[in-house]
Amino acid sequence: MFPPVLNPTTVPQEPKFGERDLMRRSASTVTPPAQRQTEVAKLIDVSKCIGCKACQSACIEWNDTHPQLESNTGIYENPHDLTPDMFTLMRFTEWENPDTNNLEWLIRKDGCMHCEDPGCLKACPAPGAIVQYSNGIVDFVHENCIGCGYCVKGCPFNIPRISEVDHTAYKCTLCSDRIAVGQGPACAKACPTQAIVFGTKEEMKKHAEGRVADLKSRGFDSAGLYDPPGVGGTHVMYVLHHADKPEIYAGLPNNPAISPIVEAWKGVTKYAGLAVMGVAAVTGFLHYMVNGPNRVSEEDEEAAQRLTGDRSS
Amino acid sequence: MSTDSGYDVGKGDSVHPGKPVTVDRYTGGARINHWITATSLVLLALSGLSLFHPRLFFLSALFGGGQWVRTIHPWIGVVLFFSFLGLFLRFWKLNLWKREDGTWLARVRDVLAAHDERLPEVGKYNAGQKLVFWSMSTLIIVLIGSGIVIWNQYFAAYTTIEQQRWALLVHSIAAILAISVWITHVYAAIWVKGTIRAMVRGSVTGGWAWRYHRKWLRELVARPPTKEPTADRKRTAAE
Ligand code: HEM
Ligand code: SF4
Ligand code: SF4
């Protein structure tokens, strides 16, 4: 058992991180702080989850969102997808294990992974709409968001959702406001089985090792930690009993990375594009400077008069 | 519209002898159509560029901030599309590729050196103008197509995220090309004196037509004079 985050003092305190700890800021260049804060992480142990959705309720309560009541279509997901009002969602998969012929009920808590190399932030065109703190938390800043939806295309996990009410993007904040004052995320606090635990990234990896060893001893030979290197690792990690097949957990990407299309769009296209437009403008300017204007001469006018002169009107 | 085959002449084009000769080139309708297109293209370029690169984000202030840019850019795109469609229907026939266009293009050095006397006689549009016309036509189709795919507010649900990624890449490349073609187009109009007048007042001087579009001028002069009265009336109305 991992010791839960203690209840903090009720005395008001300074936030533990803020503007000065920004490692990345969308559409801006920031000098990362000299000293990086200890990286934090949330570990979701899929094998321990009982699908009670206490985390979803806690998330709704803490963030004061109001997800729509939807109708039952015969599946357990409710709501049926992440929405601007539902930052985390239990996704249920019934999977028949071909090795054992057992039906396994896979329940994965979906939500923002807080990537070390966040595709959402890379794609975002609005300065400061997405920030990354040096403890690894990726947060959306609604005052700066323009609602373009680029983050949706940048994210390898299909997480951000754009609100039709205020036209800004929403996703899990890792309860940055709670963590800033020494609390754990609301979901971790609510989880009755300790399927969700929170601590430093090192602690979480260590704790996961123990969980993986335990699962292996129970016959889950390919149990493992999901901390995908393609996005530099994440600050929300999973313990999976079938870590070799993450996609069976409701499509958790196997080896995710920022899409090469997004990289090309945000990389070479920008520089080449500015260069092409610049060259067009400069060439025009230089051509004018060297050649001067192209003018109609007196002879041209006279020629036109000769041509039309024999016509009267 | 040039209905008589063989004539490289647009609707409302006509010659008025005098000193200098004046030649009607664009009707009032064509000019209004052109300036609506031009305005929307410039607004699209400015608003689009503000999202294109962080250094250009300041341009969003012209539109009242990023949220406004995000909201109105696609709508201006819709205006541009229909407005350009108007221009396309007006001008496409006159922009069909002719034999002399290849020769003209092969002598692009003379074009740039203003040795217009060494170029073949061309109709209402030269090869450069035709290239601008066709590339803009293509690019605007690509821009509206890709633009709708990335119009998150209304169309996000109709395509996959992967398709939207492609659309963003295509849209930004097409926008760069369109802006570069636009720069070339505007530069040509500034460089060749007497051109802007065609889109402002609707007419050019005979000398301008003789120097740059001699085939057009010859065809206009050779045209059966029966058409004259209408053209004249148009001219007075336009002034
Ligand atoms: C013809 C119809 C067009 C439509 C429907 C359209 C739509 C869009 C949309 C939806 C976006 C994403 C941002 C937003 O939501 O506002 C966008 C971005 C952009 N648009 Fe357009 N657009 C059109 C035409 C144009 C034209 C003519 C240009 C340039 C001359 C242009 C330049 C851009 C640029 C540079 C971006 C930013 C791309 C980036 O961030 O890399 N667009 N457009
Ligand atoms: S919608 Fe996403 S990409 Fe667009 S400004 Fe907001 S956070 Fe940035
Ligand atoms: S999971 Fe998606 S939304 Fe979350 S940090 Fe990574 S790229 Fe951004």
* Model confidence pLDDT, tens digit, residues B2-60: 344 457 888 899 999 988 999 999 999 999 999 999 999 999 999 999 999 999 999 99
Of ligand 1's listed atoms, the one at least distance from the Cα of B140 is 1
Residues A246, A253 contacting (CB under 8 angstroms): yes
> Cα separations (Å) of B90 from B8, B29, B133?
13, 10, 12
3-class DSSP state for residue B182? helix
Mean pLDDT, chain B, rounded, equals 92
Q: Chain B, 142-181: which have a CB under 8 Å from a chain A CB?
A: 150, 152-153, 156, 161-162, 164-166, 168-169, 172-173, 176-177, 179-180
Residue A120 pLDDT more than 70?
Answer: yes
| Pairing of the two strands A40-45 and A236-240 | parallel
Please tell me the number of the ligand nearest to residue A172's CA.
Answer: 3
CB of residue B136 inside a 6 A radius of ligand 1? no
Q: pLDDT at position A9, please?
A: 81
As a whole number, mean pLDDT of residues A39-62 equals: 97
Q: Give the tens place of pLDDT for each residue, B128-176.
A: 999 999 999 999 999 999 999 999 999 999 999 999 999 999 999 999 9
Q: Once rounded to an integer, what is the mean pLDDT over residues A68-76?
A: 88
Q: Given an 8 Å threshold on Cβ–Cβ distance, is B206 in contact with A304?
A: yes
A27: left (phi over 0), alpha (psi -120 to 50) or beta: left
Q: Which of B73, B152, B182 to mutate to probe the A interface, most A CBs <10 Å? A: B152
**In this predicted structure, what is the pLDDT of residue A192?**
96
Closest ligand 2 atom to residue B66 Cα is 5
* φ/ψ bin of A251: left (φ > 0), alpha (ψ from -120 to 50), beta (otherwise): left
pLDDT at B4: 42
Nearest CA to ligand 2 atom 8: A124
Note whether B145 and B85 are within 8 A (CB).
Answer: no
Peptide bond into A84 cis (omega under 30): no
Ligand 3 centroid–CA A119 distance in Å is: 6
Residue ranges and CATH numbers for the domains of chain B are: 27-238 (1.20.950.20)
User: For the residues A281-298, what does the mean pLDDT come to?
Assistant: 96
Q: Tell me if residue B29 falls in helix, strand or coil.
A: helix
In contact, A129 and A145? CB cutoff 8 Å = yes
Whether the CB-CB separation of A313 and B17 falls below 8 Å is answered with yes
C-alpha dihedral (B173, B177, B180, B182), degrees to nearest 10: -120
**Taking 50 as the threshold, does the pLDDT of residue B238 lie above it?**
no
Number of Cβ within 10 Å of residue A51's Cβ equals: 15
Parallel, antiparallel or unpaired: strands A102-110 and A89-97 = antiparallel
pLDDT score of B239 more than 50 = no
Question: In terms of C-beta density within 10 A (0-12 exposed, 13-18 middle, 19 or more buried), how is residue A33 classed?
Answer: middle
Q: Taking Cα atoms as reference points, which of A147, A153, A148 lies closest to residue A165?
A: A147
Please answer whether residues A163 and A170 qualify as being in contact, where contact means their C-beta atoms are separated by less than 8 angstroms.
yes
Higher pLDDT, B23 or B236: B23
What does the pLDDT average to over B96-111? 96
Q: Are the beta carbons of B205 and B21 closer than 8 angstroms?
A: yes
Give the residue among B85, B35, B2, B8 at the shortest CA–CA distance from B201. B35
Average pLDDT over residues A266-289: 97
Question: Crossing angle, helix A268-291 and helix B161-191, to 10 degrees?
Answer: 10
- The pLDDT score that the predictor gives to residue B6 is 58
Chain mean pLDDT for chain A: 95
What separation in Å is there between the alpha carbon of B144 and the centre of ligand 3? Answer: 29
Sheet strands (E) in chain B: 14-16, 22-24, 203-205
What was the pLDDT predicted at A2? Answer: 81
Report yes or no: B223 and B9 within 8 Å, Cβ to Cβ.
yes
- Is residue B238 within 8 Å of B202, Cβ to Cβ? yes
Q: Which ligand does the CA of A117 lie closest to?
A: 3
Topology of domain A19-256, CATH: Alpha-Beta Plaits (3.30.70)
In chain B, whose CA is at the least distance from the CA of A295?
A: B193
Q: What is the DSSP letter of A21?
A: G
Q: What is the pLDDT at residue B209?
A: 97
- Chain B residue numbers touching A295 (CB-CB < 8 A): 193-194
Number of H helices, E strands in chain B: 11, 3
Query: What is the dihedral sign for C-alpha A185, A190, A194, A196?
Result: negative
pLDDT for A8 beyond 90:
no
Does residue B237 surpass a pLDDT of 50?
no
pLDDT at res. B234 = 44
Atom 6, ligand 2: residue with shortest CA distance: A145
Q: Where are the domains of chain A?
A: 19-256, 264-309
Distance A61 CA to ligand 2 centre (A): 24
Partner residue facing A162 (CB), from B150, B152, B232: B152
Q: Does B207 touch chain A (CB under 8 A)?
A: yes
Taking residues A228-246, report their average pLDDT. Answer: 98
Give residue A311's pLDDT.
53
The answer on pLDDT for B229 being more than 50 is no
Quote the pLDDT of residue A310.
60
pLDDT, position A6: 79
pLDDT confidence of residue A75: 87
Residues of B taking part in catalysis: 185
Model confidence at B228, pLDDT cuts 50, 70, 90, reads very low
Q: How far is A3 from chain B (nearest CA, A)?
A: 40
Contact status, residue B14 vs residue B227, Cβ threshold 8 Å: yes
